[in-house]
Amino acid sequence: MIYLGSLLLAVLGAVVRQVWHRLLKGPLVASWAWYVELRMVALRAFIVATSRGGDRSRRRALEADLDPPLPRSLRQVMKKEAATVGGIPGEWVRRGHARQEDPTILYLHGGAYLAGSPATHRRFISRLTWITRATTFAPDYRLAPDHQFPAAVDDAEAAYVGLLEMGVEPGRLVVAGDSAGGGLACALLQRLRDDGHPQPAGAVLFSPYTDLEHTAPSIRKNAATDYLPVGPVTANTFYLGDADPKHPEASPMYGDYTDVAPMLVFAGGREMILDDSVRLVEKASADGADVTLRIEDDMFHVWPALLPNHEATRRTLTAVADFVRTRV
C-alpha cells in the first residue's frame, strides 16, 4: 500500500506540474489536446517510478495482478480465453462470430523485453482483432532478466509453429507487435526463414524497438515529447546479457530481410525511437523486402494502444485492416 501510494503521488505530481507548464507556456506539441499531453506525462511518471535502476520487479508485480476487461463497446461481441500454443502460455481474443476462414494474428506485446503481458495489451489487441476481423493469439513469452536473449525469439517461434501445427495456414496468418514486440516480430521473420518455416502473410509493426544499443539521435531529440524514461543512453543489457547488441535477432535493424513477408511499419514523429523504425525500413528496403513506413508526425510511442479515440489511431487501424485484407 505504501508503494502504491508513492506511485500515485509521483503520477499526480507529474500531471499537476504539466498542467501548470501548459497554462504558462502552452502545449508541448501544438496539436496535442489536454488529454494527449497529460496521458503522456502520467505514463512517463509511472514508468520512471516503477523502473528505478532498471529494476522492473515492482512493475511486474503490479502487472501480474492485472485482468482488465475488454473495451465496453466490445464486451458483448468478443471473448478472451487463456490457452497454450506450441508450449507457450498466452491468451486468445476472438470475435463472437469468428469464422474458420478469418485471418489469425500472432500478437507480440511490448515492454522492452522486461515487462508487459497479454493482459497489459488486451484492450488494444481486442480493438485490433475487431477491426481486422481476425482471431488473435498473444503469447506470454519469457521476459528478462530471468530469461535473456534469445528466449523471447525462441518463444515467438514456438508459438508461430504451434499455430501452424493447429492448422492455421501461413497465408492467413499475420504477425504483429508493438515496441519490443515489433522488434521481436522482425527477429521472428528472420528466424522462420533461416529455420525453413513458411513466412506469414505479412507483419504489422507499431513503433518497433530495433536497436538495443540505443544509438538513435531521435532518443534525445524527442525526449520531451515521449513517455519512455529519460536517462543514460546505455544498451539493454538486462535482456541482452552477454550477447552482441548488433545480433540481428536482438537489434533487428541489422537483420537480413531477403525473402521475408511484407511489412507495414508505423512510427510516431515525436517518439524517442523514431529512428529505430526509419533505419529498419531502410535496411529492409535495401534487402529487397516489401516494406512500407507510415509516420504520424505528432504521435508518441505506440500511440494506437494509448489513444484509442484519437484520429491518428483511427487512421492507423484502418490502414492495418486494409493491409490484412490485401495480404490475406
Segment 181-196 shows an average pLDDT of 98
pLDDT at position 328 is 94
* DSSP 8-state symbol, 220: H
Yes or no: say if 285 and 256 are a contact pair by the CB < 8 Å rule: no
d(CA 292, CA 202): 11
Report pLDDT digits (tens) over 193-228: 999 999 999 999 999 999 999 999 999 999 999 999
DSSP SS3 for 244: coil
Q: Residue 12: what pLDDT?
A: 95
Which residues are paired to 160 by β-bridges? none
Between 49 and 314, name the one with better pLDDT.
Answer: 314
Which pLDDT score is estimated for 50?
A: 85
Note the pLDDT of residue 232: 55
CA distance 304 to 313: 5
Q: Provide the mean pLDDT of the chain.
A: 94
Does the domain at 71-327 match CATH 3.40.720.10? Answer given as no
Mean pLDDT confidence for 142-167 = 97
d(CA 265, CA 277) in angstroms, rounded, equals 7
| Residue 6's pLDDT band (cuts 50, 70, 90) | confident
Strand (E) or helix (H) holding 183: helix 180-194
Q: How far apart are CA 304 and CA 209, in angstroms?
A: 16
Torsion 168-169-172-176 (CA) sign? positive
Q: What is the DSSP string of 222-241?
A: TGGG--SPPS-----HHHHT
Question: CB of 159 within 8 A of CB of 104?
Answer: no
CA nearest neighbour of 117 among 163, 78, 61: 61
* Start-end of CATH 3.40.50.1820 domains in the chain: 71-327
CA angle 44, 49, 55 (to 5 degrees): 115
C-alpha to C-alpha distance for 182 and 210, rounded to whole angstroms: 8
pLDDT at 1: 53
Per-residue pLDDT, 3: 66
| pLDDT, tens digit (0-9, with 9 covering 90-100), for 10-67 | 999 999 999 999 999 999 999 999 999 999 999 999 998 887 666 677 777 788 888 9
Q: Indicate yes or no: pTM above 0.85.
A: yes
Q: Which residues are part of the catalytic machinery?
A: 179, 271, 301
- The band of 160, judged by pLDDT with boundaries at 50, 70 and 90, is very high
Q: Over pLDDT 90: what percentage of the chain?
A: 88
pLDDT of residue 204: 98
Residue 209 C-alpha cell reads as 524497438
Q: 273-306 pLDDT, tens per residue? A: 999 999 999 999 999 999 999 999 999 999 999 9
How much is the pLDDT for 317?
A: 98
Query: Taking a C-beta distance cutoff of 8 angstroms, is the pair 91, 81 a contact?
Result: yes
> What is the DSSP code string of 110-126?
-STTTS--TTTTHHHHH
What pLDDT was estimated at residue 293? 98
- Cβ contact 50:7 at 8 Å: yes
- DSSP classification of residue 139: E
* Alpha carbon distance 191, 56 (integer Å): 28
pLDDT of amino acid 95: 93
Tens digits of residue pLDDT in 117-148: 999 999 999 999 999 999 999 999 999 999 99
